[in-house]
Homo-oligomer: A and B are copies of this chain.
């Protein structure tokens, strides 16, 4: 895989460039009147990318991810004093909504019908859900008021990578104060736009079987690390279903792409245990296990995980 492949990917990429200006405006808000950065900035990616099979897209390949890890991590980075660019799959879980299942929104709203009864008329949150909803709404309002959360949606692999590049190039002047926390589930194969059929694939065109020809997506991690934002602190993610492959694959990501840490996890246990894998010459031989229960019975593992990443990032800042 060469830089030519990366060039070609972006040349053929159908997504627009709308993210760049929103990121620039957001970034200005993170500077004081004398132009000093007021807080570090993290780009949290979240949810799965889609790979269209037709240009007028009816069918697509998707990567399993509800976006819980990204959404909860974004909350914890805000809590830790970071500005957060939340690059997320459209309609995936948003920060401050965990515990509010979107499909059931009507289940916790209740309508009060009496007219002219002052402030209690209209729609209210049912009493049983009130405490949870109230906490979510308050924290979301705080983040909105402080201007430290930017939500950027994507749908396809094309939109995701184009936005990621725009964010990286915009954050480059921040040097070591920028963090990439790449929790999105990104497809590693796709159909390039020039090869993609125009219309819905007709089932009559295939007999009993159907062959789909996919190509590898150029690896962008190395390009992000070396070219787009060479000083940023980069944390990638590795999700596997086979325990035997997990740590080897995480270690390979470090040696191949030069990322600073890999969060490695197994599909079935990902809410309970994650491994933070680092270069072998760092402490603990470069491997820290984070266990939700062992770490003080946290409700969500993203709290100790983000704490650990923040600790590593601070060390990276002071080592400069």
User: A12 CA to B199 CA in the complex, in Å?
Assistant: 32
**A21-29, A76-84, A136-144: which lies at the interface:** A136-144
The yes or no answer to A31 lying at the interface (CB within 8 A) is: no
- Chain B residues near A58 (CB, 8 Å)? 63-64, 185, 239, 241, 267
Complex contact A123–B118 (CB within 8 A): no
Contact A241 B199 (CB under 8 A): yes
**Cα separation A224 to B118 with both chains bound (whole Å):** 54
A76 vs chain B, min Cβ distance (A): 17
Docked Cα-Cα span, A109 to B100, in Å, equals 12
Q: Which of these, B60, B113, B127, contacts A61 with CB under 8 Å? A: B60
Question: Would you call B119 and A133 a contact (CB within 8 A)?
Answer: no
| A241 / chain B contacts, CB cutoff of 8 Å | 54, 56, 58, 198-200
Cβ–Cβ contact B200 & A240, under 8 A: yes
Q: Report whether A105 and B111 are in contact in the complex, using a CB–CB cutoff of 8 Å.
A: no
Segment among A90-98, A165-173, A308-316 that sits at the interface with chain B: A90-98
Segment at the interface with B among A205-213, A274-282, A299-307: A205-213
Majority DSSP secondary structure for residues of A touching B: mixed
CB-CB nearest in chain B for A1: B208
Given known A-B contacts A109-B137, A141-B111, A213 and B209 have beta carbons under 8 A apart: yes
Q: Does A255 contact B (CB under 8 A)?
A: no
Residue pair B210, A215 in contact (C-beta under 8 Å): yes
Chain B residue numbers with a CB within 8 Å of A124 are 119, 122-125
Interface size on A, residues (CB 8 A): 69
Contact B64 A62 (CB under 8 A): no
The one of B53, B60, B109, B215 in contact with A209, judged by C-beta atoms closer than 8 angstroms, is B215
CB < 8 Å neighbour of A134 from B120, B122, B206 = B122
Is A119 a contact partner of B120 (Cβ separation < 8 A)? yes
Asked if A59 contacts B50 (CB within 8 A), the reply is: no
Q: With an 8 A cutoff between CB atoms, is A106 at the interface?
A: yes
Closest-by-CB residue of B relative to A54 is B241
Q: Which residues of B contact A136 (CB under 8 A)?
A: 106
A110 interface neighbour in B96, B137, B209, Cβ under 8 Å: B137
Between-chain CB contacts (< 8 Å), 21 pairs:
A56-B268, A58-B63, A58-B267, A59-B62, A59-B64, A59-B187, A91-B103, A106-B137, A109-B133, A111-B134, A111-B141, A113-B138, A119-B120, A122-B127, A188-B203, A189-B210, A200-B241, A200-B242, A209-B213, A210-B215, A210-B216
Interface of A toward B, CB cutoff 8 Å: 50, 53-54, 56-64, 90-92, 94, 96-97, 100, 102-103, 105-106, 109-111, 113, 118-120, 122-125, 127, 130, 133-134, 136-138, 140-141, 185, 187-189, 198-200, 202-203, 206, 208-216, 239-242, 245, 267-268
